[in-house]
Amino acid sequence: MQVPGIDGCKGGWIGILTDPSFSAPRAIGTCLAGMIAGSMAEVVVTDMPVGLSATESPRRCDVAARGVLRCKVSPVFNTPIRPVLEAVSYDDTSDISRRVTGKGLSRQAWGILPRIREGHPELSFALADHGQPVPASKKSRKGQPLRLQILSGAGFRIENLDLANLPPRTALDHLIDAAIMAWSAIRLAEDRACLFPDTLLCDDHGLPMQMVA
């Protein structure tokens, strides 16, 4: 079993594909749809909102995540409500993709959408460190070594990462976030993930408004 964790970066998207042992993790692609469809993974966890409420912001999963992190300035931002994003069908989504990128979205990529679940790096790092939020910013000199230490304790060593397909201009903090998303994807695939909130809530289009870690 191999699963990807995905984070956004300046070069597009950074994904880390790994098995549960973290023995040979590798960076993958810049095209989000291509990464997801190409991995053929059982689950995908990404640092990106998935389900959006039609009327409620913040969502209950945002509130639940903030309750774990207990930060004065929360890294969990309020997501837009669904009416802001009207593309809900394959044809609509493919048309938007074609206008923006010049290419439509494959049926395969559209079909994999139900397997994509939402995560948040800071929530996952807190869960990986016995419920303790990381006390320093991910972009700080102190924050990055702390996160790498937590990843190492979970079995992921950054020096084992194959960077042959690393997107251009990928910063270390995005690699770190993608790695902890992969950790969450493994926990989800093995039915060990924590869910926020515990009860699954879906938006008006059946997409989950729930974070996994």
pLDDT in tens, the chain (213 residues): 889 899 988 767 889 999 999 999 999 876 766 766 666 678 899 998 899 888 887 899 999 999 999 876 678 887 767 665 656 677 776 776 677 656 666 665 566 566 789 999 999 999 999 999 999 999 898 999 999 999 999 999 989 999 988 888 889 999 999 999 999 999 999 999 999 999 999 998 888 999 999
Determine the Cα–Cα distance for residues 208 and 118; give it in Å rounded to an integer: 8
Its domain, for residue 125, covers 3-212
Instruction: Please enumerate in sequence order all residues whose Cβ is within 8 A of that of 180, keeping only pairs 6 or more positions apart, or say none.
Output: 5, 119, 121, 124, 125, 128, 147, 150, 151
pLDDT at residue 26, rounded to an integer: 93
pTM, two decimal places = 0.85
Q: Which residues pair with 212 in a beta bridge?
A: 195
Task: Look at residues 208, 193, 172, 202 and name the one whose alpha carbon lies nearest to residue 16.
Answer: 172
Q: How many domains does the chain have?
A: 1
